[in-house]
Structure 1
């Protein structure tokens, strides 16, 4: 059996052969897939600058309104796993169109909500857009070989990382000039644009027949019984754990070195997502030429080296902001290299369960990273020192490196003939 490969950058009118279904499938443009992936994360924090005004508009407690952010993330993690499996059963196109339809309705509902309860219901419904990121990964995976997919994942991850970076700035500007509802008007408009593009470009997508006959629990069981899947997923989870420890601990430990300036803290913390974009670019540029296991090991070594330097500087008494935040940029670079390669590897475990693998890996990555971040937060709260923060991040980074070495070993073993 052979796969007719096609570059994702080709026009949408170019068709490829879907070997699972025996029918032609149209390859969407990369820009369309980037829009789907960005739209899956943009709503998470675009409304952050508007939370106080939303609370005032509905005469609600701020903590209750804040559920619109935390609840969104929880629902998204759950739907990631479910949406991937459903796309294997019914196809990629129906899942994307259904998710976008619900997202558009939910965005309009947030605009018209008369009270906080109705607003929170529609806000939770917006999380249905989450699986679009996994489906975008799946579509790339189905139209590329393993290394080429990792390269394209890198470019996709750049858009996925930029969205949450510009989201608060964009949402805050809309709020200031037009009011908090303007953010949801824009989200609804982006949803409509993505829906129209998806109708045009996501054609010829049908689920593999073998996956259609398999129940969801059996699919999850097959993936969870694979050492390769666990190696790639644990690498992603521990890598995300490093980021979550940093996000939760940096304001508490390093913030004092900046004289209590929130603006300076935000600027320096932005070095990590900037590093992620750089790492994603490097993955897009070179992942097609290097084995996935090698990329993972290099990525995790970079993070461990950077954090080791940061730990050494903090133990030596360095208090300069650049000396403390500079090494943290390697968190972003390492994660930017790790996620495309690990996603590609996890989705290669079962050829007829690519969607299920993408969704389950995403859910496990989010849940595992959050768990590690929570545990790290407990230690940081007890000993709020800079070297404690670096030590905890380094421990999680070392665990990710071990998982990367495991993945490289399993990958090499799987490629041996006979």
Structure 2
């Protein structure tokens, strides 16, 4: 068991590095685009391409992990990420920079392998608590990334950001090589294309899974869009300082951290349905409210704080319900989840980018986009919670 916790720790470092690689460079993106004479929309496009790169390999990685084993696939993917990270500083134009960022984003394709291993190795409560804690990497990165990135860029060239990411990724790879369990590959799914297609069909036709991932993708899109567009909104067009930019990031994303820490302190079995409902109401109040108070920055930040807290409350439970609903291989289910998740986020980010570009990257334009998203997310969460509670009530008499 001790080795499993070490594996989880090094996997967490790898995941954090993948996200930090993007978030550390975000405050330097205006500098990158100035050097390469790129337009403002390339700032958001850089993140969109990075995310799209993260959904290119999932369909083949799932059966590959079943056939070859998670350990070999995970280590190979981490090595590919390190190679791409080393190539980014060599870019000579905005087009080359964006292209390499796409391939670098493929490193996130392999994150689901670690999550699949954790869901297989731990029970419901431990898996939700651990994956919720690990989900903090998506928030710690926007908190830590701008601070570290701003400090590096203030002293060195923007390329030093990727050197830092390479060092962290190398440490993570070495740790994974020493601690990741070497589970025997099954070979069953990978050896039978007909069975593989049948498994994916069962996954993609499962209503709980499809709705759960759609809601999860919608829910994280506003936070991802803020990461990708805030440099243009605050730094380029708002004239804010790096200190203001960092303060806004911390104030908005700290809500997620606090809510996930609260989940860690919950004893016994986690009430997944209740987490969905309570988190959904907070998300609706926060993100919906932000759309109406964007002209007052302090109130906007407070509302976004509430939204991120609600997201942290329901995200782990939502992903758990979606992943366990199909009854199929966790490798294949996680692969399908990662594919859809990245597609939804990338599409949503580009819609945000288009609206914000149309209105000159004004804060109000970003905030207005969140109102329909908040309504859809809250409605979806309540529907999923009803279905989950009904299934739980049906199982209890059988178990008794």
1: CA distance, partners of 2:37 / 2:228 = 26
C-alpha contact (below 8 Å) 2:222/2:370 kept by paired residues? no
Quote the offset at 1:156 in angstroms.
0.7
What residue number does 2:321 align with? 345
1: CA distance, partners of 2:98 / 2:370 = 37
Cα RMSD after superposing both structures: 3.8
1: CA distance, partners of 2:286 / 2:340 = 26
Higher Cα Rg, which structure = 1
Change (3 A) 1:272 1:404: farther
1: CA distance, partners of 2:39 / 2:118 = 41
Query: More displaced, 239-248 or 83-92?
Result: 239-248
- Are 1:161 and 2:139 counterparts? yes
- Are 1:211 and 2:189 counterparts? yes
C-alpha contact (below 8 Å) 2:51/2:346 kept by paired residues? no
C-alpha contact (below 8 Å) 2:50/2:106 kept by paired residues? no
What residue number does 1:293 align with? 273
Give a deviation string over 1:97-125, Cα, whole Å, max 9, x none: 11111122222223445666665554333
Change (3 A) 1:328 1:106: closer
2: CA distance, partners of 1:414 / 1:213 = 36
Q: In the alignment, which of 282, 306, 317 is matched to residue 262 of structure 2? A: 282
Quote the offset at 1:152 in angstroms.
0.7
| TM-score for both structures, normalised by structure 1 | 0.77
Query: More displaced, 281-290 or 90-99?
Result: 281-290
Give a deviation string over 1:290-309, Cα, whole Å, max 9, x none: 23222212211222244566
Quote the offset at 1:54 in angstroms.
4.3
Give a deviation string over 1:249-306, Cα, whole Å, max 9, x none: 99999x8xxx956355763454331111122222333386223222212211222244
Structure showing the higher helix proportion among its residues = 2
What residue number does 2:380 align with? 400
C-alpha contact (below 8 Å) 1:47/1:171 kept by paired residues? yes
Quote the offset at 1:386 in angstroms.
9.6
Query: More displaced, 219-228 or 93-102?
Result: 219-228
C-alpha contact (below 8 Å) 1:84/1:355 kept by paired residues? yes
- Are 1:364 and 2:340 counterparts? yes
1: CA distance, partners of 2:333 / 2:109 = 12
Change (3 A) 1:289 1:199: same
Quote the offset at 1:332 in angstroms.
0.5
What residue number does 2:164 align with? 186
What residue number does 2:301 align with? 325
